[in-house]
Structure 1
Amino acid sequence: MIFKNISDLRHHLIEQLPNALGLVPTMGALHDGHLSIIKDAIADCDVVVVSIFVNPTQFNDPKDLSNYPRTLKEDVEKINQLHGNILIYCPSVKEVYPHGVVSETFDFGSLSKYMEGQYRGGHFDGVGTVLKRLFQLVKPNKAYFGKKDYQQFAIVKKLVDIENFSIEVIGCETYRESNGLAKSSRNKLLSKDQMQEAEILYSCLKWAKENFHKQAPTEMKKKVKSIFTSKENFKLEYFEIADENDLVPVVKLIKGKRYRAFIAAYCSGVRLIDNIALN
């Protein structure tokens, strides 16, 4: 079932009275990665709400917003093939931003300072703003996010703490193409050859995991930069090794701490991100 306003959705939910209500926030252009997250939610919850809303405040580049694929008809068809009590919520910009399209400002500490926070100004304030609003509207018990956007996943958990929401934030494993490239709505903007070439991101992450205890983070960064220098169609934006708890990039490893490698690069103008747990 598709709902375009929150009053109809809430009326339906009151009739169902679910013990566990799950929310899977998306911006549409659904792929197998999204569907795997929805399946995880179905397994946990009586009712799952999948929101489809392209959020304008988390795009710092207007061109990126206008180019973002919008495929509602196909998205609904894909969701309808799943087995579960799934409700689709497609709010208008007016419903999400009744007082104008403006971001709130949040203090996410070090979680928002590096990687995506460094290269996409205001991005996480936009993410926090739209998710706070969706949480207030839908009132879920659980919310599901892919770990491909691990920094966003950490931000959402912090948002729940800041706003004191009674919501369990659940991270779902990254779903990948056959060559290892993380599934993303942006992959639709790549040609077949570009898709194949883009496996370089995952190759670098796998190399980092294999060499994590053999080389210092600074040396690993130099190596990844050199790999991208030889790739004509690619531009590396960042490669960082960061503490998994505070997401601060490190130059020296400390025993007992958990680390992740994060990468962002442009493939013929299409921005791709990925990450991997190192230990």
Structure 2
Amino acid sequence: MMIVKTIGEIRDLVKGWRDEGFSVGFVPTMGALHEGHKSLMERAMAENDRVITSIFVNPTQFGPDEDFEAYPRDLAKDGALCDQVGVHAVFAPDAQELYLSDKCTTVHISGLTDVLCGSKRPGHFDGVCLVVSKFFNIIGPDKAYFGQKDAQQVAVMKRLVRDMNFEVEIISCPIVREEDGLAISSRNVYLSEEERKAAQVLNRSLKMAKSVLEQGERNAPILKAAILSCIIQEPMAKIDYVEVVDKENLESINGEIKNNVLIPIAVYIGKTRLIDNITFEV
């Protein structure tokens, strides 16, 4: 496995692969890799001749009150996991390699980025769209892999590709969960033993919602109220949001559910903000 630091090197590497007729898969990450990332890389390895994983803590997606400097960085550990999976190259540039000091270009997708997590983190998805656009331009992958746990990000990436005519297919991969049902996240390490047990309420409430949908309920307000009722029974839980939205455009559903639906939730357990979701095809 190669660790590549510069745009020129990664472009030359991909060009060589293309000359040999190889397909290229891409898994963008900010490092701090875990089993969820591993599942993305394994999927990419199964579906492409060559796979690149990026490890880049992207400064443009951090807000003024978010500690960019404190984000965990361990390239040796992350690289070892990539090597274990069999990834062919890790692209790990520094910020100066990707962003010129006088940069003035932004990428904004209206609507999709103004709701859910986007409403809580203004500018976050602009930074995500900017760095992913740069990666797509530099690498030119055939497929790019994202975890469904960040469902809003998946929807934004699909719209980015559609609107900007990138020749890349966005692959959404299933949420990977711990044995207790908690969605795997780098934030889980901040939970105490008691908080970890309390955090199971996220998955429990979503499983309940899926059961209600399977029984035929199609009234979104009733479904949302049932989820809220389940979560508030956990004393350690503080709800950020619970929504029932259209899976494609993320617009809130305030009446009957007629299209494929996404139910995303964000809940604080102690000081740790956790997200989870389910989708349901109508």
TM-score normalized by structure 2? 0.90
Match of 2:276 among 270, 274, 277: 274
Residue number in structure 2 paired with 1:48: 51
Q: Distance in 1 between matches of 2:56 and 2:159?
A: 22
Residue number in structure 1 paired with 2:212: 211
Residue number in structure 2 paired with 1:28: 31
Q: Within the alignment, does 1:167 sit opposite 2:168 as a pair?
A: yes
Q: Within the alignment, does 1:2 sit opposite 2:3 as a pair?
A: yes
2:264 maps to amino acid = F
Match of 2:249 among 246, 250, 264: 246
Stretch moving more, 214-223 or 21-30: 214-223
Over the aligned positions, Cα root-mean-square deviation in angstroms equals 2.0
Q: Within the alignment, does 1:202 sit opposite 2:209 as a pair?
A: no
Shift of 1:230: 4.1
Shift of 1:196: 2.6
Q: Residues 242 and 164 (structure 1 numbering): CA distance in 2 closer, same or farther, change over 3 Å?
A: same
Partner deviation per Cα, 1:48-100 (whole Å, 9 max, x = no partner): 110001112222253343443222221111111113x5200111111221145
The aligned runs of 1:78-157 (5 Å cut-off) are 78-83=81-86, 85-100=87-102, 104-108=106-110, 110-157=111-158
Q: Distance in 1 between matches of 2:232 and 2:204?
A: 15
Q: Residues 102 and 226 (structure 1 numbering): CA distance in 2 closer, same or farther, change over 3 Å?
A: farther
The secondary structure found in structure 2 opposite 1:65 is coil
Q: Which runs of 4+ in 1 moved over 6 A?
A: none
Residue number in structure 2 paired with 1:60: 63
Q: Is the 8 A contact 2:26 2:51 kept in 1?
A: yes
Q: Residues 70 and 53 (structure 1 numbering): CA distance in 2 closer, same or farther, change over 3 Å?
A: same
Q: Distance in 2 between matches of 1:247 and 1:222?
A: 19
The secondary structure found in structure 2 opposite 1:179 is coil
2:161 maps to amino acid = V
Q: Is the 8 A contact 2:109 2:156 kept in 1?
A: no
Q: Is the 8 A contact 1:68 1:186 kept in 2?
A: no
The secondary structure found in structure 2 opposite 1:137 is helix
Q: Percent identity?
A: 38
Q: Is the 8 A contact 1:103 1:126 kept in 2?
A: no
Q: Residues 66 and 220 (structure 1 numbering): CA distance in 2 closer, same or farther, change over 3 Å?
A: farther
The secondary structure found in structure 1 opposite 2:28 is strand
1:98 maps to amino acid = L
TM-score normalized by structure 1? 0.91
Q: Distance in 1 between matches of 2:118 and 2:165?
A: 23
Shift of 1:103: 6.8
List alignment gaps of at least 5 residues for structure 2. Answer: none
Shift of 1:215: 6.6
Partner deviation per Cα, 1:81-127 (whole Å, 9 max, x = no partner): 113x520011111122114577714234x322321122221121111
The aligned runs of 1:72-83 (5 Å cut-off) are 72-83=75-86
Q: Distance in 2 between matches of 1:190 and 1:152?
A: 24
The size of the alignment, in residue pairs, is 276
